[in-house]
Amino acid sequence: MTSQHHSESTPRITPLPIAEWDEEATAAVASAFGTAGVKAFQRAGAAPNVLATLVHYPGLAAAFNRLGNVLLSKPAIGHRERELMLLRVAWRTGAQYEWVHHVLQAEHYGLDELDIQGVIDGGCAKWSPLEADLVAAADQLLDRYRIDDATWQRLAVHLDNRQLVELPFIVGTYTCLAMAFNSWNLQVEDGVDASDVPPLPH
């Protein structure tokens, strides 16, 4: 029991402190966040644990963060819609880091407590038919790696081809991150208050 608890609360890969970033790591972060982003992390004295872990592999960090920025900053499908799918992925995969950070950001993207409970339950009475289908699509992709025909046909009424291309990438990208976070035992940063975040199922 003790060793299991230890493995869950200790990262398998220690996030790399900014003071130890070499030129390649710094350039990788700058390619995704700009020099202003690097300077902001330096002023703060730390980067988020996800980034400080990724920079152990600068080339991957640069490429993956650029992809993440597309999905996070300008999603074709919309911010609220992305978050509903992303949070469902985090809940289903038990990805604590992903879940905590995105529940804490939920209000910024137009989600409230009822939406979070809906993500947990797999449905919510306030959701539009499109929102319900997006969460169902996330479940189908997690379960069978394919959106079923009926769901796809309903989605295609509301979404254009650009959005339909993006949709599996949202679920897939955040599932990939969930697998990485869970495998790394990525820890939520000290000082992040997760006391109001619903706990993940054990």
Q: pLDDT of 175-201, one tens digit each?
A: 999 999 999 999 999 999 999 999 998
Q: Is the pLDDT of residue 3 over 50?
A: no
Nearest alpha-carbon partner for 102 in 114, 90, 113: 90
Provide the CATH number for the domain around residue 96.
1.20.1290.10
Task: Taking residues 44-69, report their average pLDDT.
Answer: 95
Residues 165 and 177 in one domain: yes
Residues 100 and 59 in one domain: no
Q: How many structural domains comprise the chain?
A: 2
Residues 105 and 55 in one domain: no
Domain containing residue 103: 77-184
Question: Domain boundary at 73, 96, 112, which?
Answer: 73
**Which contacts qualify for 198-201: CB closer than 8 Å, 24 or more apart?**
198/103, 198/116, 198/117, 198/120, 200/91, 200/94, 200/96, 200/99, 201/94
Q: Is 200 part of a structural domain of the chain?
A: no
- How far, in Å, are 21, 23, 66, 102, 171 from residue 89 at the CA level? 31, 34, 20, 11, 7
Residues 113 and 136 in one domain: yes
Residues 47 and 135 in one domain: no
Q: Is 109 part of a structural domain of the chain?
A: yes
pLDDT at residue 202, as a whole number: 77
Nearest alpha-carbon partner for 80 in 128, 143, 147: 128
Residues 93 and 124 in one domain: yes
Residues 157 and 132 in one domain: yes
Helix orientation angle between 79-93 and 96-104, rounded to the nearest 10 degrees:
150
Residues 83 and 67 in one domain: no
Nearest alpha-carbon partner for 88 in 116, 68, 67: 116
**Integer Cα distance of 12 and 83 in angstroms:** 27
Burial class (CB in 10 A: 0-12, 13-18, 19+), 97: buried
**Integer Cα distance of 165 and 12 in angstroms:** 34
Q: Is 176 part of a structural domain of the chain?
A: yes
Instruction: Dump pLDDT digits (tens) for 109-125.
Output: 999 999 999 999 999 99
Q: Is 135 part of a structural domain of the chain?
A: yes
Cα angle vertex 99, ends 84, 197, to 5°? 100
| Percent of the chain topping pLDDT 70 | 97
pLDDT at residue 171, as a whole number: 98
Task: Taking residues 90-114, report their average pLDDT.
Answer: 97
Q: Is 3 part of a structural domain of the chain?
A: no
Q: Is 143 part of a structural domain of the chain?
A: yes
Residues 55 and 86 in one domain: no
pLDDT band at 101 (very low <50, low <70, confident <90, very high): very high
Q: Is 94 part of a structural domain of the chain?
A: yes
